[in-house]
Structure formats: structure tokens, C-alpha cells
Amino acid sequence: MRTRRLGATGLTVSRLALGTMTWGGRTSAEDAEDLLTAFRDAGGTLVDTAHGYGGGSAEELLGRFLGGGRDDVVVVTKAGIGARSGDRVVDCSRRAMLHQLDTSLRRLGTDHVDVWAAHAWDDATPLEETVAALVHAWRSGRARYVGVSNHVGWQAARTMSLLAAEGVPLALDSVELSLVERRAERELADAARSLGFGLLPWSPLGRGVLTGRYRGGVPADSRLASDDLARFAGRHVGDHTRGVVESVRTAAEGLGVSPALVALAWVRDRPGVTAPVLGARTPRQLAQLLPVEDLELPAQIVEALDEVSSDLA
């Protein structure tokens, strides 16, 4: 698998990342181990997880599979989102962030992570306090690099300026980006290239809609059919994305590949992107996505997809 630098840092990573959000939930431990093995066998090195994924199961499984030997794996984990009484809670206070970091390190069975990120923007916590936690983790060696997640352009830039004042670089911003969700490109693509942080797009397949699997209804095994993920998956299903989905399908037919590969290649090669995060739930799904490494979209197809999805930017 080809590699890229993570933003302007010296860290080299694969240009695809493996996501672990469903590990310990909709993805069994056995399938999770097979996913990691297949990803590494394909040359993948970048693995994305978080303190809150699977109630902690994702980090625990990843730590177990790596077994302390991860010289060829770059681990990104995030803090600041948790659950309280079953509800999602954003808390990027210094106390919460560093407590979650300690927990993440224990689950992963290591004394440091490669990249540690604030998982969300927290309106209730002064940004200076969140940044202080990132700086402390970096200076103490518990995080080799730091980043943010789900920050729009001005939020990432403000965070970066506070980090820079402490001599700490911002390595990445992980945001949703796909052909049916292009708002991140308004500010972040230029900011990433100008300021030197990498973009890690999550849901590059538009929460599944760009695969075409919802064209004829809702499959029983899909996220849209599940009680816990229906709201998440359903955002991009509807008339507002139908034209994009059909255009991706047409391009895929012309190239002799799947719609998923077309959609994924488009995100992978957007300006400022380091690596899209593959959210495959099963080894079969991952096997269908890994051939994207050999796919380069012709310029005319990229231009056509840019045009048909321009209203979603």
C-alpha cells in the first residue's frame, strides 16, 4: 500500500486507515482480528480508534491483537466523548481528557499512542483547557503527535494557534467527507494544506449510501435497519443524494469496478487528505474495499463527480 506523510509531520502512514468504531459491537472479536490482519497484510499501517468506541471494547481488542508489538502500526485514538446514563456526552475538560487517555493506554497495553486527538469541539470547556491536555500528553511522551476531530476550519485553526504557542504541532483533523458530505472542503482543505495538518475523512462512503445498497430499499443487515445506527446512517439517504449515487454507479460501470471503490478513490485523492478511514464491519467488506489501492480515477470522471455533488459542498 502506498504511503503519505501525515500533514507536515515526519510521520509516514498508509494512505488508507482502518476504523474500529463497530469493534465489540456489530463487529465480533473474531472478525475484528481478521480485519486487522487483512489490513496489515495489505500494507496498511494506520488504525483509528477512540476511547468511546464500543464502550471501550475497540481499544481493548486492538491492544490484545497488537500484543505490545506495533512497530509497523500507527495508532490514532481520541478522547472527549463518552456515555453517561446511556446518553452521548462531550467533555473535553483537562480532567476528562487525561483520565480517558490513561484508560486508553491501559486498554491498548502501551505507554504511548502515536496520535491522540480531541474527539469533538466542546462549547462548555474553554479551548485553552483542552489544548493544555493535548500539550501535556505530548510533552509527557504519552502521545507522539496530537490532533482534533470534527473541528471545522476556524476551530482547527484556533486550536492550532494555541498549540503552536506551546511549540506543539497539530497533526490531523478527522472529519466526515464524502461525495454526499462535502462541507468540510469549504475551509478545511485549504487550511490543511496551508497550515500543515492532515485530514482523516470518516464515512468516505457517505455512511453507506454511496455503495448503492439503499437504492432498492433497506437491507436487513444494514446500519439503516439497526436501532442504534439508523439515525446515523439515514442522514444521506433520500432525494438530495440520489443524483450523486446514480452518477457514482454510472462511473463504476464504465470503469468496471464497484461504486464503493469509485467513492473511496474520490475521497482518498482530495486536496489535504492523508487517508480515508475504512469503516468495514466484516472481513468481506474490507476485501471489497482494498482494491482501491489500484484504482486511479480519470480526470473527466473526477470533474463530473465534483460537478454533480457541488450542491453538497
Question: What are residue 199's DSSP bridge partners?
Answer: 173, 273
**Per-position b or e across 123-161, b if 16+ CB within 10 A of its CB:** eebebeebbbbbbbbbeeebbbbbbbbbbbbebbbebbe
What are the φ/ψ torsions at residue 90 (nearest 5 degrees)?
-100, 120
CA 11 vs CA 44, 160, 259: distances in Å: 14, 18, 31
How far is Cα 225 from Cα 252, in angstroms, rounded to an integer?
Answer: 26
Sequence letter at residue 246 = E
- CB of 108 closer than 8 Å to CB of 91: no
Of 23, 53, 145, 266, the active-site residue reads: 53
Closest CA to 208 of 263, 269, 164: 263
Residue written as grid cell 491501559: 106
- Cβ burial, residue 235 (10 Å; 0-12/13-18/19+): middle
Residue 75 DSSP SS3: strand
How does 175-190 read in b/e, with b if 16+ C-beta sit within 10 Å?
bbbbbbbbebbeebbe
53 is catalytic: yes
> What residues act catalytically?
53
